[in-house]
Amino acid sequence: MARIERLAGRFDVQEYGRLDYPPDHYRLLAVRSREVRDDRPWVLITGGVHGYETSGVHGALQFLEQRAAGYPVNLLAVPCVSPWGYERIHRWNANAVDPNRSFKEGGAAGESAALMRLVAPLRGRFLVHIDLHETTDSDESEFRPALAARDGKPFEPGVIPDGFYLVDDSRNPQPEFQRAVIDAVAKVTHIAPADGQNEIIGGVAGRDPVPDARAGAVRGHHRGSLHHHHRGLPRQPAFDARHLQRGPGRRDLRGHRVRAGEVGVGAGPRDPFTSRRNAGAR
């Protein structure tokens, strides 16, 4: 919280809601460009939709602190969508609801409803939305077994990707944009290969517009997660991947090995929170 508030010297820091999980209460904070210009596109950055994916929170904050000023855009950033989950290194909220399955009308997560209200006045104006996630060993050891137990289903083991990958928007795919990001990231860290079924987290993998075992981007469908969009990039600095944390072996705040960095990056002229189905988004 303090780290977000310190950005007030360069950005407008806005409280856009509160979460009440007695005895705890959480302010929801957004960071917005102080000078908004009509000739600049809007960009949305979110982190910590899953609180235990802490790299997204710190990555968003590091970008705001060190690099955001170099991009000629109107920026709206929410570094930590799920502060209760972040504090407890947990995927769900206090009510055992996954916020990343709740970006839809009537969704059960207060975290998601507050974010939808925040962006509603800007619907149709975002150039791109970047949603920062990660995949750790704890997905297989804790959270996927817990999901199966919660829903009364058998647990089916999966494969944890080892490296960086992207989740594209299956309803509005942007393979050239996805490939450009992957190529930039490949200069500083390794890209996750596909598994034996040519998939990453259940979605078809490919670094090219057609499925390809060289991997990198995931295309699929996902119930009620964020709908990303993009209308062609303006002139701006080249994508800079140097702020990404390097290599395997890094551990999260609980000590689990972090195998993969995941970014949901999408593009297109539709509204950002239209219900989207994307099996790849975690």
Domain ranges of the chain: 2-267
Query: Mean of the per-residue pLDDT values for the chain?
Result: 79
d(CA 262, CA 203) in angstroms, rounded, equals 13
Comparing 281 with 36, the larger pLDDT belongs to 36
Surface-to-core class of residue 23, CB atoms within 10 Å of its CB (0-12 exposed, 13-18 middle, 19+ buried): exposed
Give residue 29's pLDDT.
Answer: 98
d(CA 256, CA 6) in angstroms, rounded, equals 29
Angle, CA of 120, 244 and 91, to the nearest 5°: 55
What is the dotted CATH code of the domain comprising 2-267? Answer: 3.40.630.10
Mean pLDDT of 130-142: 91
Give the model confidence (pLDDT) of 151-186 as tens digits. Answer: 999 999 988 888 998 888 778 888 898 899 999 999
Give residue 260's pLDDT.
Answer: 55
Give residue 175's pLDDT.
Answer: 86
Give the model confidence (pLDDT) of 191-246 as tens digits. Answer: 999 888 888 887 776 654 333 333 455 544 333 334 433 322 223 333 344 333 33
The neighbour count for residue 257, using CB atoms within 10 Å, is 14
Helix (H, G, I), strand (E, B) or coil at 16: strand
The pTM of the full predicted model, rounded to 2 decimals, is 0.78
The number of CA neighbours under 13 Å toward the Cβ of 209 is 6
